[in-house]
């Protein structure tokens, strides 16, 4: 009796990264301006600022005269930014999808210039999707009945939705798998635009604010749900609010129109992966133009005799209720930047591609959340706080150099309040991955950027 082969996907697949998930180069010179292999570059760039000037969206680019910057490929090395924290590479996800497809040529990674608007990049996606599907259908291993499957992380899911709902893609898309996509936006985008106002904040946060203020792509991530606290509940963010907190009024107006149009459109089946249990900013108060973050949401209709606020959590960047629009989400305890490299998520994607479930996970998920700073200075201790688990014997913690993968420390977590904590001093500037593993299949991970001390040379 012949041994059956592994299930394969006969459709054409496109993989879309999230914001900051594509490598960018100067078109004229080929010089990389985002996605460098040296993790220490990010610490130098966010403190000196000189390396970030090329990322600013110019007036020419806002008026449609593009071509200065090219998106060359999906991120291959960890990248870091203040507030947005870290973006992990997509290598494991793409390699796994290629092994699941009938032929590697059926899989198309789609890098894009994430500085620019969702609508602009969705139009480019429409062109690439049409070409890719046509080539796959005509290939020896392809089929004339093949459809598209879109696998999209974060902002990439908004491109996929815009392509399906508004640019004629729905008829050719079998399904879209989204990983932490902010369908209703993220309050973190508000924080980014407001960084540097009010209380003193580190220089890298102000660098990010100045850069983000020029970017249509960042404005497209502004929350469209009721996110602004009015004392008793919450209201929707307005373009005037965005201008008052430091953003661009016109870009905000365009973003809000995008979200309105997508919320009322039918874009075909969506299978959403949603990160949970991580501390996530869900709403905020605006006080004299300064954002005060809130880790809770307001129900549309508060239940009687119950609090009018509830902490729904999320993946640390996208609130839980903003990350899905239809069907039953696939929940995973993980941070936003790490979703696309988490084994459970990769196996779930493969299951959707073949429509065969991958099987039970090794262990049971627990509401484990990881809290670490987004950045610190060389020589400072790195505090690690874990909530959801109080038994040190139930967890392991490992800190590695994100670039080399070498282990830096195995800190022992000790009880603190209702959770656990530990602290180490990283060996020097760079990027480090903190991983805390319980009974679930994969650890919860977060990237931390360690900046050089002031006076170090700029990049």
Give the domain ranges of the chain.
369-446
Q: How far apart are CA 144 and CA 160, in angstroms?
A: 22
Q: Provide the pLDDT for residue 288.
A: 83
For the stretch 340-387, pLDDT in tens is 999 999 999 999 999 976 666 556 567 889 999 999 999 999 999 999
CA-wise closest residue to 344 among 372, 365, 327? 365
Q: DSSP letters of 15-50?
A: EE--TT-EEEEETTT--EEE--S-THHHHHHHHH-G
Place of tokens 């903190």: 434
Q: How far apart are CA 453 and CA 459, in angstroms?
A: 14
Q: How far apart are CA 180 and CA 151, in angstroms?
A: 11
**Residue 281 scores a pLDDT above 70:** yes
Q: Provide the pLDDT for residue 458.
A: 39
**Residue 107 scores a pLDDT above 60:** yes
User: With 0-12 CB in 10 A as exposed, 13-18 as middle and 19+ as buried, what is 286?
Assistant: middle
Percent with pLDDT over 70 in the chain: 93
Question: DSSP assignment, residue 74?
Answer: E
**Residue 19 scores a pLDDT above 60:** yes
CA-wise closest residue to 413 among 368, 449, 447? 368
Q: What Cα–Cα distance (Å) separates residue 331 from each residue in 149, 150, 245, 337?
A: 20, 19, 33, 15
Predicted structure pTM score: 0.92
For the stretch 409-429, pLDDT in tens is 999 999 999 899 999 999 999
Place of tokens 């201790």: 381
**Residue 275 scores a pLDDT above 90:** yes
H or E segment and range at residue 259:
helix 249-263
- Report residue 85: phi and psi, to 5°: 65, -130
For the stretch 50-84, pLDDT in tens is 779 999 999 999 999 999 999 999 999 999 999 98
Contact assessment for residue 388 and residue 367, using Cβ atoms and an 8 Å cutoff: yes
Q: Provide the pLDDT for residue 140.
A: 95
Q: Provide the pLDDT for residue 260.
A: 95
Instruction: Report, in angstroms and rounded to the nearest whole number, the Rg of the chain calculated over CA atoms.
Output: 22
**Residue 446 scores a pLDDT above 50:** yes
> Phi-psi category of 306—alpha, beta or left, where left has phi over 0 and alpha has psi -120 to 50?
beta
Q: Provide the pLDDT for residue 456.
A: 44
CATH architecture of 369-446: Sandwich (2.60)
6-19: burial string, b at 16+ Cβ within 10 Å, e else = eeebbbbbbbbbbb
Pick the residue with more confidence: 19 or 268? Answer: 19
Q: Provide the pLDDT for residue 457.
A: 40
Give long-range contacts, CB 8 A cutoff, 24+ apart: 311-314: 311/282, 312/280, 312/282, 313/276, 313/277, 313/278, 313/279, 313/280, 313/369, 314/274, 314/275, 314/276, 314/278, 314/280, 314/282
Q: Provide the pLDDT for residue 198.
A: 58
Q: Provide the pLDDT for residue 443.
A: 94
H or E segment and range at residue 369:
strand 369-371
pLDDT confidence bin for 307, thresholds 50/70/90: low
Q: What is the maximum span of the chain, computed from C-alpha positions, in angstroms?
A: 75
Mean of all residue pLDDT scores within the chain: 91
* Mean pLDDT score, 180-208: 85
Q: How far apart are CA 226 and CA 162, in angstroms?
A: 22
Pick the residue with more confidence: 264 or 170? Answer: 170
């Amino acid at each position: 009796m012949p041994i059956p082969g592994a299930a394969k996907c006969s459709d054409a697949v496109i993989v879309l990264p999230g914001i900051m998930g594509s490598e960018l180069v100067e078109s004229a010179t080929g010089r990389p301006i985002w996605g460098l292999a040296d993790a220490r570059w990010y610490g130098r760039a966010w403190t000196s600022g000189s390396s970030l000037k090329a990322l600013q969206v110019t007036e020419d680019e806002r008026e449609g005269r593009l071509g200065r910057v090219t998106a060359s490929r999906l991120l291959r090395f960890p990248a870091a930014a203040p507030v947005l924290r870290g973006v992990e590479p997509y290598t494991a996800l793409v390699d796994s999808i290629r092994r699941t497809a009938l032929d590697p040529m059926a899989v198309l990674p789609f890098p894009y210039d994430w500085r620019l608007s969702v609508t602009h990049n969705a139009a480019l996606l429409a062109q690439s999707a049409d070409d890719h599907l046509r080539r796959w259908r005509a290939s020896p291993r392809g089929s004339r009945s093949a459809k598209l499957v879109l696998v999209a992380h974060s902002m990439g899911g908004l491109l996929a939705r815009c392509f399906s709902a508004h640019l004629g893609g729905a008829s050719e898309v079998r399904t879209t798998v989204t990983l932490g996509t902010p369908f209703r936006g993220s309050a973190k985008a508000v924080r980014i635009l407001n960084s540097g106002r009010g209380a003193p904040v580190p220089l890298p946060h102000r660098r990010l604010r100045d850069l983000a203020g020029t970017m249509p792509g960042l404005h497209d991530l502004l929350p469209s749900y009721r996110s602004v606290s009015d004392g008793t509940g919450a209201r929707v963010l307005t373009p005037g609010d965005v201008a008052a907190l430091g953003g661009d009024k016109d870009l905000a107006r365009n973003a809000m129109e995008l979200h309105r149009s997508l919320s009322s459109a039918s874009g075909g089946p969506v299978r959403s992966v949603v990160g949970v249990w991580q501390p996530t900013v869900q709403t905020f108060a605006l006080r004299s133009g300064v954002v005060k973050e809130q880790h809770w949401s307001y129900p549309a209709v508060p239940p009687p005799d119950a609090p009018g606020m509830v902490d729904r959590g999320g993946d640390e960047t996208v609130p839980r209720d903003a990350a899905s629009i239809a069907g039953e989400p696939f929940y995973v305890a993980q941070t936003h930047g790490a979703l696309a490299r988490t084994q459970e998520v990769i196996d779930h994607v493969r299951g959707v591609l073949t429509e065969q479930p991958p099987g039970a996970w090794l262990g049971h998920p627990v509401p484990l959340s990881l809290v670490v700073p987004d950045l610190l200075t060389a020589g400072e201790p790195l505090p690690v706080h874990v909530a959801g688990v109080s038994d040190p014997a139930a967890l392991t913690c490992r800190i590695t150099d994100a670039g080399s993968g070498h282990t830096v420390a195995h800190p022992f977590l000790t009880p603190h309040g209702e959770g656990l904590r530990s602290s180490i001093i990283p060996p020097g500037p760079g990027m480090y991955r903190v991983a805390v593993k319980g009974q679930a299949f994969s650890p919860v991970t977060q990237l931390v950027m360690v900046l050089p001390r002031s006076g170090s040379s700029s990049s």
